[in-house]
């Protein structure tokens, strides 16, 4: 009930800001939630299932259709500037300058291209959000999803949630991030009260009932990381793509049509355990140079650059294939085991799930190298404060940890983490209220009509 009251207060405040900005009331609202990934990090773009849940924090937009022939974007946060674009011009997105409105325009462009809309309906929009930016809780993808939903509604089109998720996953790549679709999928397919196992090809979501006596707590390490503004994320995508080719080649499989590690497993009809053994057998732990890769794959340096690298990874000279592939296959197995434990609920299931989360963090830290010292410190504090399991969530290199805490320990846990991580540092202490919170599985993206 409290959350409904808070949400209605946000709607009223957003309506007032919209009226002050545009001199009229909004016609409708749209919201899209952020997410926390419980397990399955950096494997969606390799084709493997993930296990996230939507959180209550979301992106909220107030919208009216206008006759100005423009899309007018404003944000309630004064640090995000207004932007206007003509409906008759081609939408261009500057991937070298990932400002907030370019994420919104990704969603607009995705719907425009899906329906072949020559001239979009004019829109006046005010956007507000409660997802901490660059925190690993998918604020950017929620903004893309909200924009896609808004554009569909304003142009009187209709799509299923699965179609919307697939479109928004593709169109976010306009900003330069080569994600796999988890964030957009859970934003649309989430249901209150349940986590989801997200499978790809075809995209589908299966309910996962989490243990009754466990609470999930999100804690922000207060180091920001913007995926589109750095190359860390796309370098990992590229390393997995190259590892796919190398593993296929090692087993005599034509690598030309393969881009994802799951495709090698499917081609070989192998188990995840067999794939982990193949990684140890076929890939050396030392980084691979471009020259070695070109020699093994029998391609030219030009082909390597154009066919395997993305625009912001052209500078990379060495690639850690063994470590990245080992993480992906191991993490895919942990997702399967996590779902199995949730379904069967054996005695000691909280301990088992916690151990899988701990293994996941160790793999992200040591094999995928997507953690940072602050996140490692925070995870360590969470475990010492009573969490059964704790791990980074999201892309990493900053952002949030998610901890599974026995419900009877949650108050003591929050107090201990606050005292050990946030209060000793003035900057963290100032951010603590929005950085440390209990989260329950929330619902998916939705449109509300002004009534």
Read off the pLDDT of residues 118-165 as tens digits, 9 standing for 90 and up.
Answer: 999 999 999 999 998 888 899 999 999 999 999 999 999 999 999 999
Type and span of the H or E element at 239: helix 232-250
Read off the pLDDT of residues 325-343 as tens digits, 9 standing for 90 and up.
Answer: 999 999 999 999 999 999 9
Q: Which residues of 362-387 are buried (b: 16+ CB within 10 A; e: fewer)?
A: bbbbebbbbbbebbbebbebbbebbb
- Position 178 scores a pLDDT of 85
CATH number belonging to the domain at 1-210+441-449, selected among 3.30.450.40, 3.40.50.720, 3.30.230.10, 3.40.50.300: 3.30.230.10
SS3 content of the chain, % helix, strand, coil (to 5): 50, 20, 30
- Position 327 scores a pLDDT of 98
Q: How many whole angstroms separate alpha carbon 342 and alpha carbon 51?
A: 11
283 within 8 A of 302, measured Cβ to Cβ = no
Cα–Cα distance list, 337 to 159, 161, 331 (Å): 33, 27, 10
pLDDT band at 386 (very low <50, low <70, confident <90, very high): very high
In sequence order, the 6+-apart residues with CB closer than 8 A to the CB of 441 are 53, 54, 190, 191, 192, 193, 194, 195, 210
pLDDT band at 176 (very low <50, low <70, confident <90, very high): confident
Q: Is the pLDDT of residue 2 over 70?
A: no
Q: What is the pTM of this model?
A: 0.94
Q: Is the pLDDT of residue 88 over 70?
A: yes
- Rounded to the nearest 10°, the torsion over CA 131, 136, 141, 143 is 20
Read off the pLDDT of residues 414-425 as tens digits, 9 standing for 90 and up.
Answer: 999 999 999 999
Would you name the residues annotated as active-site residues? 183
404 within 8 A of 218, measured Cβ to Cβ = no
- Position 145 scores a pLDDT of 98
Q: What is the mean pLDDT of the chain?
A: 95
- Position 228 scores a pLDDT of 61
Domain regions of the chain by residue span = 1-210+441-449
- Position 225 scores a pLDDT of 79
In sequence order, the 6+-apart residues with CB closer than 8 A to the CB of 234 are 176, 177, 178, 310, 312, 313
65 within 8 A of 15, measured Cβ to Cβ = no
Higher pLDDT, 96 or 360: 360
Stretch 175-184: mean pLDDT: 90
pLDDT band at 230 (very low <50, low <70, confident <90, very high): confident
- Position 1 scores a pLDDT of 54
Stretch 29-52: mean pLDDT: 97
Question: In this prediction, what percent of the chain has a pLDDT beyond 70?
Answer: 99
Stretch 236-265: mean pLDDT: 97
- Position 3 scores a pLDDT of 77
Dihedral angle sign, alpha carbons of residues 166, 169, 173, 174: positive
Least confident of 45-59, 227-241, 251-265: 227-241
Count of CB atoms situated within 10 Å of the CB of 5: 9
- Position 27 scores a pLDDT of 97
Angle CA 118–119–125, to nearest 5: 135
- Position 451 scores a pLDDT of 66
Q: Is the pLDDT of residue 446 over 60?
A: yes
């Amino acid at each position: 009930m409290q959350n409904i009251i808070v949400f209605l207060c946000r709607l009223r405040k957003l309506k007032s800001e919209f009226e002050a900005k545009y001199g009229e009331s909004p016609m409708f609202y749209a919201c899209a939630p952020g997410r926390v990934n419980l397990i399955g990090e950096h494997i969606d773009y390799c084709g493997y299932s993930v296990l996230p849940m939507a959180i209550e924090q979301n992106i909220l937009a107030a919208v009216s259709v206008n006759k100005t022939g423009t899309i007018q974007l404003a944000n309630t946060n004064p640090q995000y500037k207004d932007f206007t674009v003509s409906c008759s011009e081609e939408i261009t997105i500057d991937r070298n300058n990932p400002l907030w409105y370019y994420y919104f325009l990704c969603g607009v462009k995705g719907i425009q291209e899906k329906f072949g809309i020559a001239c979009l309906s004019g829109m006046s929009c005010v956007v507000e959000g409660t997802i901490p930016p660059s925190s690993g809780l998918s604020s950017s993808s929620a903004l893309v999803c909200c924009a896609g939903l808004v554009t569909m509604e304003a142009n009187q089109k209709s799509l299923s949630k699965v179609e919307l998720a697939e479109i928004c996953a593709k169109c976010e790549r306009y900003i330069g991030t080569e994600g796999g679709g988890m964030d957009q999928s859970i934003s649309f397919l989430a249901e209150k009260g349940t986590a989801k196992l997200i499978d790809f090809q075809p995209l589908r979501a299966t309910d996962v009932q989490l243990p009754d006596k466990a609470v999930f707590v999100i804690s922000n390490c207060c180091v920001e990381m913007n995926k589109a503004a750095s190359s860390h994320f796309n370098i990992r995508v590229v390393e997995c793509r190259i590892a796919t080719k190398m593993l296929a080649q090692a087993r005599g499989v034509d690598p030309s049509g393969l881009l994802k590690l799951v495709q090698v497993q499917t081609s070989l009809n192998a188990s995840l355990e067999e794939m982990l053994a193949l990684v140890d057998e076929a890939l050396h732990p030392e980084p691979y140079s471009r020259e070695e890769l070109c020699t093994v794959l029998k391609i030219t340096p030009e082909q390597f650059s154009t066919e395997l690298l993305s625009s912001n990874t052209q500078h990379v000279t060495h690639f850690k294939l063994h470590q990245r592939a080992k993480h992906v296959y191991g993490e895919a197995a942990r997702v399967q085991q996590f779902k199995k434990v949730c379904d069967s609920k054996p005695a000691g299931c909280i301990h088992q799930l916690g151990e899988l989360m701990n293994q996941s963090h160790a793999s992200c830290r040591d094999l995928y190298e997507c953690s940072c010292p602050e996140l490692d410190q925070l995870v360590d504090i969470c475990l010492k404060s009573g969490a059964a399991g704790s791990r980074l969530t999201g892309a990493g290199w900053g952002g949030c940890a998610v901890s599974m805490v026995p419900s009877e320990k949650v108050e003591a846990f929050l107090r201990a983490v606050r005292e050990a991580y946030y209060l000793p540092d003035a900057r963290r202490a100032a951010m603590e209220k929005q950085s440390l919170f209990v989260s329950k599985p929330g619902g998916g993206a939705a449109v509300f009509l002004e009534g």
